[in-house]
């Protein structure tokens, strides 16, 4: 490990650009290169405002996306072509089964690349490779193929609302498919843009028709400023709390349990800041392009901008229960998991349950990579979500409302500390280090959640007839399972 050269995979020109900034900031070279690519996505997005014709926009989108990938990941960009050509060919050859073929094939290719590149260890060291980009493309091509398959095999009267909104009735043109695949604004960090949304934006249909998109610059500037707050938080916290001086520090096991929880909590908060920064910046790039626009509020008439929102930072930080977190974190991926995994594994006429939650979380874990840390995080998340749901339902049905604070505050504390406790697995990635980290605090959050789960299921008894509460609970539970949002009737911000 001591002989590892972080510049080994870079061309000389890349090294010349990156090395001065890496030495000055102390940030790993791979992260510096990735950050430059992320920054570039915003001005690249703004150029779309200057291009009047859809075909030219497609060409620009494809060319700029390819150049952006070449800048950040070099020759690894060929993997985008492999995934795109395979997926498009499957749609051409067999419409009735293309969705399943693309789902299986793209995930197999992603898993192979995860294993081949040892992406978990690389990302842990700050050397970000193209696997993140492939993760985004995997979601895109599977969604497009499944929607194309549905449109050719399911009568419109039998489709659900989501299938009607995302329908791909005809085979996309090659140029438009290529432009959508390499769309530069979300290429390196997501979110995955649905083909139907890209098509409607390109041709000024749907929310982009009629009055069209208003001026984007005020909203864009606000998001840029907002993203810098989280970049600053991340940089400041990482100066004092790192994996090396917390979980992996020589004196970690000499610290008290209380001090360990404090340090893992602050480390988790700081680490999460980089995700907030990346996703808010990507949202700003989408707003600059216009695709982040989501229509006008039906009551106030004000424009809404939730089309490409992938994170609501304050929603995550203020979440009162584990149930609420997925509604604000990695929102678009959650929507994908909801509609392309959770719903499709629920038998027709049946209600989804823990089995569907677990399958969805396992798919999410596989999507992130093969390292045990990802699996431990997502499987544990399923248990934490189910425990939170059980306690929430018990509280709604049996606990006097005037005494809610006696449960609400401890539940919030468990949620915020427990999230950062679970995040340790996501950062450490290896099984031995994850189990050692959790074991160093005696798995306390796990034991508390298991107690909540057993207690809530054992003593749930007969529920009080609270219609409004039950409706809210149902929606919340649906959001839980998917690491994302519940079904939405329009693109209006909720």
Residue 184 to residue 133: CA distance in whole angstroms: 11
Is the peptide bond prior to 191 cis by the omega test (within 30 degrees of 0)? yes
Alpha helices in 154-292 (DSSP H): 161-165, 174-181, 195-202, 217-240, 257-289
Residue 69 to residue 387: CA distance in whole angstroms: 41
The answer to whether 200 and 149 have CB atoms below 8 angstroms apart is: no
437 CB contacts (<8 Å, ≥6 apart)? 247, 264, 424, 425, 428
Residue 391 to residue 460: CA distance in whole angstroms: 9
Token duo for residue 315: 């929603």
φ, ψ for residue 311, nearest 5 deg: -155, 145
Buried b (16+ CB within 10 A) or exposed e, 101-135: bbbebbeebbeebbeebbbbebbbeebbbbbbbbb
Residue 22 to residue 32: CA distance in whole angstroms: 6
326 CB contacts (<8 Å, ≥6 apart)? 334, 385, 479, 480, 482, 483, 484
- Crossing angle of helices 174-181 and 131-153, rounded to 10°: 140
Give CA 35 to chain center in angstroms. Answer: 18
Closest to 493 in 3D by CA, of 347, 327, 290: 327
DSSP state of 493: -
Burial level of 487, CB count in 10 A (0-12/13-18/19+)? middle
Active-site residue identified among 199, 339, 368, 446:
368
For Cα atoms 115, 118, 122, give the angle at the middle one, nearest 5 degrees. 155
Q: Which residue, chain included where needed, has tokens 């060409």?
A: 59
- How many beta carbons lie within 10 A of that of residue 388, not counting itself? 27
Catalytic annotation on 368? yes
Token duo for residue 337: 């998991």
Token duo for residue 439: 């074991």
Q: Measured between alpha carbons, how far apart are the two ends of the chain, in Å?
A: 48
φ, ψ for residue 287, nearest 5 deg: -65, -40
| Backbone angle region of 15, left / alpha / beta, with phi > 0 → left and psi within -120 to 50 → alpha | alpha
Catalytic residues: 368
């Amino acid at each position: 490990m001591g002989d590892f050269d972080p510049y080994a995979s870079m061309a000389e020109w890349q090294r010349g650009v990156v090395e001065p900034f890496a030495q000055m900031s102390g940030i790993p070279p791979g992260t510096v290169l990735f950050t430059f690519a992320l920054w570039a996505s915003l001005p690249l997005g703004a150029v779309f405002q200057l291009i009047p014709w859809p075909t030219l926009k497609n060409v620009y989108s494809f060319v700029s996306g390819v150049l952006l990938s070449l800048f950040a990941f070099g020759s690894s960009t060929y993997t985008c072509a492999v995934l795109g050509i395979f997926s498009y060919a499957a749609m051409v050859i067999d419409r009735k089964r293309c969705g399943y073929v693309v789902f299986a094939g793209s995930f197999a290719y992603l898993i192979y690349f995860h294993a081949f590149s040892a992406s978990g260890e690389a990302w842990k060291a700050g050397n970000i490779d193209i696997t993140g980009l492939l993760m985004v493309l995997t979601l895109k091509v599977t969604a497009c193929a499944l929607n194309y398959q549905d449109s050719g095999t399911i009568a419109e009267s039998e489709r659900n609302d989501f299938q009607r909104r995302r329908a791909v009735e005809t085979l996309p043109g090659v140029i438009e498919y290529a432009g959508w695949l390499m769309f530069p604004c979300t290429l390196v960090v997501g979110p995955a843009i649905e083909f139907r949304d890209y098509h409607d934006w390109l041709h000024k249909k749907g929310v982009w028709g009629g009055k069209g998109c208003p001026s984007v610059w005020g909203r864009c500037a606000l998001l840029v400023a907002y993203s810098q707050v989280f970049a600053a938080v991340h940089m400041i916290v990482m100066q004092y709390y790192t994996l090396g001086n917390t979980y992996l520090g020589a004196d970690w096991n000499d610290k008290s349990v209380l001090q360990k929880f404090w340090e893992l909590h602050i480390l988790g908060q700081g680490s999460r800041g980089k995700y907030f920064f990346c996703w808010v910046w990507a949202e700003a790039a989408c707003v600059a392009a216009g695709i982040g626009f989501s229509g006008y509020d039906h009551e106030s008439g004000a424009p809404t901008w939730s089309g490409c929102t992938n994170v609501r930072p304050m929603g995550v930080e203020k979440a009162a229960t584990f149930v609420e977190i997925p509604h604000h974190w990695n929102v678009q991926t959650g929507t994908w998991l909801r509609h392309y995994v959770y719903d499709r594994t629920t038998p027709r006429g049946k209600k989804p349950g823990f089995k569907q939650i677990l399958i969805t979380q396992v798919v999410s874990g596989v999507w992130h990579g093969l390292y045990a840390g990802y699996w431990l995080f997502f499987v544990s998340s399923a248990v934490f979500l189910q425990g939170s749901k059980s306690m929430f339902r018990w509280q709604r049905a049996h606990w006097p409302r005037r005494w809610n604070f006696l449960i609400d505050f401890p539940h919030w504390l468990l949620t915020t500390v427990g999230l950062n406790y679970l995040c340790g697995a996501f950062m450490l990635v290896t099984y031995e280090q994850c189990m050692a980290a959790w074991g160093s605090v005696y798995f306390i959050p796990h034991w508390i959640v298991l107690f909540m789960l057993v207690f809530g299921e054992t003593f749930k008894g007969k529920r009080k007839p609270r219609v409004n509460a039950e409706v809210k609970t149902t929606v919340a539970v649906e959001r839980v399972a998917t690491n994302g949002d519940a079904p939405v009737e329009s693109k209006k911000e909720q």
